[in-house]
Amino acid sequence: MAMTIHVDIVSAETSLFSGTAEFLSVPGEMGELGIYPRHTPLLTKLKPGSVRIKRPDVAEEELIFVSGGVLEVQPFVVTILSDTAIRGHDLDEAAALEAKRAAEDAMKNKSAAMDLAKAQAELAEAVAQLAAIQKLRKKV
């Protein structure tokens, strides 16, 4: 039996995942992080992207999109706190494309009510959602 680590992924609305994993990949602020059981303790910010979870005795990885947040790693427990988290199969490509277009328009239109930083954050989140959708398509 492979070693496992307990993973909790929680958003502001709900707990999306609570279970064991053999491996976890998360979008850290400074780059992609791979987490295995007995990982060194760590606390870091996350950027928008896909959390990939390799569960024991399950061939396919589970994918959960997070809009950013905080990652805490302890030797046998990983906790991800995110404002928004969406299961991979629940991502809406049309909504992500519309959010990307709206953010790009707001960045071009200097007199828009939305400030530049907010537009950049929304653009990064929409692009990350579209990347997660592409990853899911490649698996199928």
Write out pLDDT tens, residues 18-33.
999 999 999 999 999 9
In the predicted model, what is the mean pLDDT of the chain? 84
Report pLDDT for 57.
Answer: 86
Domains and CATH numbers, the chain: 5-87 (2.60.15.10), 92-139 (1.20.5)
- From the number of C-beta atoms within 10 Å of its C-beta (0-12, 13-18, 19+), residue 26 rates as buried
The pTM assigned to this predicted structure is 0.73
> Is the separation of the CB atoms in 66 and 84 below 8 Å?
yes
Q: Is residue 17 scored above 60 in pLDDT?
A: yes
Q: Is residue 103 scored above 60 in pLDDT?
A: yes
Q: Is residue 113 scored above 70 in pLDDT?
A: no
Q: Is residue 9 scored above 90 in pLDDT?
A: yes
In whole angstroms, how far apart are CA 21 and each of 4, 24, 77, 121?
A: 5, 7, 10, 30
Write out pLDDT tens, residues 36-68.
999 999 999 999 888 999 999 888 888 898 988
CA angle 131, 134, 135 (to 5 degrees): 90
Q: How many CA atoms lie within 13 A of 86 on its CB side?
A: 19
Report pLDDT for 86.
Answer: 84
Question: pLDDT-derived band of residue 102, with 50, 70 and 90 as boundaries?
Answer: confident
Report pLDDT for 112.
Answer: 52
